[in-house]
Structure 1
Amino acid sequence: MSKLIIPLAIGAALLGAPAIPLPSGAGGGALQARELPAYLQCVPYAREVSGVRIFGDAHTWWSQASSRYERGNRPRVGAVMAFRPHRKMKLGHVAAVSKVIDSRTVLLDHANWSPINGRRGQIERDVKAIDVSPGNDWSEVRVWYAPLQALGKTRWPVHGFIYGDGAPAARPRVVSPPTHVAVTRAPSRQFASAFDAIRGGASPAGYRQAKPLPPQRGYRQAKPLVPQQQESQRKSQGQRTGAQARDPIAQVLARYD
């Protein structure tokens, strides 16, 4: 064996950089392997932070976990999100869930996703990923991409989640906002009397009711809507508002896009 091959092989093992074979006879047969630039792959990092002891390319994790770990389609802290191969990401990807925000938003810890300062293999912690699947089953996600400083536009296909502790996944609990605000101090007498006067139709003491402004020249005053027009306008507004409220993906994207 050539004396040059041994240092290269040791360096590749220590740094985790893969070595690729050269064609037979390249370099007169003296050099049989070439070291690629060292960078951190997603697999060893996900294994370290999640405790899921699976080896091999990321796209094999889902099938390997079938007989060893609990799997599901609901995120939980510490679970591994297993990505399917897609486009140029032929080997898949794995990332660990660091926090569950709500039923459509999580934070991820992963490596070798975004190039940072022109360098690949970087670690990213607590970056957003949102579920954009129609059924809220986490089969498609969009992930924070550092060069954009925003969520990436690609919808990445996902197998699901691998749970390192073997326990079934629990659906994340979404805490509803409070329905009322507690009053900590009674209103002043002046405020209460003014409010009572307005509610009763009278003007508060010390205030004069403003007279309506006369119509300006060159403008025609709009005619009031007849009851049928008012009802039609309310229905149209209600349909638009209802469509937005029924689309959970639109609500999530509105927070981050």
Structure 2
Amino acid sequence: MSPRLSGAARTAVALGLLSLFSACAQNTTYAKLDPARQSMALLEVSQKQARGQRVWCVPYARNLSGVEIRGNAKTWWGKAHNTYERGTEPDVGAVISFRATNGMPLGHVAVVSDIVTDREIIVNHANWHRNKVSLKMGVKDVSKHNDWTLVRVESLPGQYGKFYPVNGFIYPNVDG
């Protein structure tokens, strides 16, 4: 059972997260990620954890990216059709949509926070490690045709795990 935080402690955590991500927003890694969205997404996670609630990838990705899709991660690719642009090229701020598998029956979504090479990106996501947010995790394209249909995700720093099928990337709508 999670310990309850007092109102003052929750405020201190929120202010700490806001200052942390305001500082990170000045780093080029977060050039296209909205610092206010980053703070809001992490604040919601910390509030859920303080209440003993589960942290899921979908609300975290929605809050961080601005891609307003609801439902299990495995449905995002289909629901994005005719509402959001979709494609096979990573872009900072885009949502990478993982297909459902036997080990991941609800699918998974993560937000691209940096592009390292044409075959390696960095993502921020929730619940890859149960009930936690993982920042700056590597993802490598290992697909035969270099089209981001199959990836490996960094499980520990420098260690890449199993192969995961990917639908592609969902790009947030840009105002203007």
Secondary structure class of the residue paired with 1:60? helix
> By how many angstroms is 1:166 displaced?
5.7
Correspondences of 1:130-149 after superposition (within 5 Å)? 130-146=140-156, 149=157
Cα distance in 2 for residues equivalent to 1:107 and 1:96: 8
Q: What residue is the counterpart of 2:171 in the other structure?
A: 163
Give per-residue Cα distances to partners, 1:79-100, cap 9 Å, x unaligned: 0000001122000000000001
1:130/1:63 Cα in 2 relative to 1: closer, same or farther (>3 Å)? Answer: same
Aligned to 1:89: 104
- For residue 73 of structure 2, what is the aligned residue in structure 1? 58
Q: CA deviation at 1:101?
A: 1.0
Q: Which stretches of structure 1, 4 residues or longer, exceed 6 Å deviation after superposition? A: none
1:46 is aligned to 2:41: no
Q: Supply the RMSD in Å over aligned alpha carbons.
A: 1.8
CA–CA separation in structure 2 for the residues paired with 1:164 and 1:108: 15
1:150 has 2:158 as partner: yes
1:15 shift after superposition: 4.1
> Could you give the per-residue CA deviations for residues 107-129 of structure 1, whole angstroms, max 9, x where no partner exists?
00000002xxxxx2101111100
- Once the two structures are superposed, residues 156-189 of structure 1 have per-residue CA deviations (whole angstroms, 9 ceiling, x without a partner) of 000000000269xxxxxxxxxxxxxxxxxxxxxx
Normalised to the residue count of structure 1, the TM-score between the two structures is 0.47
Matched to 1:54, the amino acid is: I
Identity %: 44
Higher strand proportion: 2
Q: State the secondary structure of the residue aligned to 1:157.
A: strand
In 2, Cα distance between equivalents of 1:109 and 1:55:
19
Kept in 2, the 8 Å contact 1:128–1:151? The answer is no
What's the counterpart of residue 131 of structure 2? 121
Superposed displacement of residue 142, structure 1:
0.4
User: In structure 2, what is the Cα distance between the partners aligned to 1:93 and 1:151?
Assistant: 19
Greater RCO, CA 8 A, separation 6+? 2
Would you say the 8 A contact 2:154–2:161 is kept in 1?
no
Pick the structure with greater CA Rg. 1
3-state DSSP of counterpart to 1:153 = strand
Match of 2:35 in 1: none
State the TM-score, normalizing by the size of structure 2.
Answer: 0.68
Aligned 8 A contact 2:122 2:139 in 1: yes
1:110 partner SS? strand
List alignment gaps of at least 5 residues for structure 1.
Answer: 1-13, 17-36, 115-119, 168-257
Contact between 2:55 and 2:127, CA under 8 Å: does it hold in 1?
A: yes
